Structure 1
Amino acid sequence: MTSIHPAALDLVRTSEGLRLKAYVCPAGVPTIGYGHTAGVKMGQVITAADADAFLQADLTAAAAQVDKLVKVPLNPQQRGALASFVFNLGAGSLQSSTLLVLLNKGDYAGAAGQFGRWVCATVNGVKTQLPGLVKRRAAEADLFRTN
Structure 2
Amino acid sequence: MARDISKAVELIKSFEGIPDGDPSTVNLDAYLCPAGYWTIGWGHVVIDSNGNMVKGVSNKPIARAIYPNGITKAEAEILLQDDVRKFSTGVEDAIHVQISDTRFCALVSFAFNIGIGAFRDSTLTKLLNQGEPNQIPSQLLRWTKSGGKELAGLKRRRTAEAELWNSVAS
Residue number in structure 2 paired with 1:69: 94
TM-score, normalized by length of structure 2?
0.77
Alignment check: 8 A CA contact 2:40 2:46 kept: no
Seq. identity, %: 37
- CA deviations on 1:18-54 (whole Å, 9 max, x unpaired) are 1222112233322110010143731541111111111
Equivalent residue for 2:112, pick from 65, 68, 87:
87
> Equivalents in 2 of 1:17, 1:26: separation in Å?
13
Q: Report how many aligned residue pairs link the two structures.
A: 143
Deviation at 1:2, TM superposition (A): 4.1
Residue number in structure 2 paired with 1:132: 153
Structure 1 counterpart SS, 2:31: strand
- CA deviations on 1:82-132 (whole Å, 9 max, x unpaired) are 11111110112112222111111111111222100000001xxxx100000
Gaps of 5+ in 2: 20-27, 49-62
AA aligned to 2:16 is E
- CA deviations on 1:44-86 (whole Å, 9 max, x unpaired) are 4111111111111111101111111100002111111111111
Equivalent residues in 2 for 1:11-22 (5 A)? 11-19=11-19, 20-22=28-30
Higher strand residue share: 1
Structure 2 counterpart SS, 1:31: strand
Deviation at 1:3, TM superposition (A): 4.5
> Equivalents in 2 of 1:107, 1:28: separation in Å?
34
Residue number in structure 1 paired with 2:32: 24
> Equivalents in 2 of 1:70, 1:98: separation in Å?
12
Larger radius of gyration: 2
Equivalent residues in 2 for 1:1-147 (5 A)? 1-19=1-19, 20-39=28-47, 41-42=63-64, 43-122=68-147, 127-147=148-168
> Equivalents in 2 of 1:63, 1:18: separation in Å?
21
> Equivalents in 1 of 2:46, 2:87: separation in Å?
13
> Equivalents in 2 of 1:69, 1:99: separation in Å?
11
Distance 1:11 1:79, change over 3 A: same
Gaps of 5+ in 1: none
> Equivalents in 1 of 2:69, 2:131: separation in Å?
44
Alpha-carbon RMSD across the aligned residues, in angstroms, is 1.7
AA aligned to 1:12 is I
Alignment check: 8 A CA contact 1:81 1:143 kept: yes
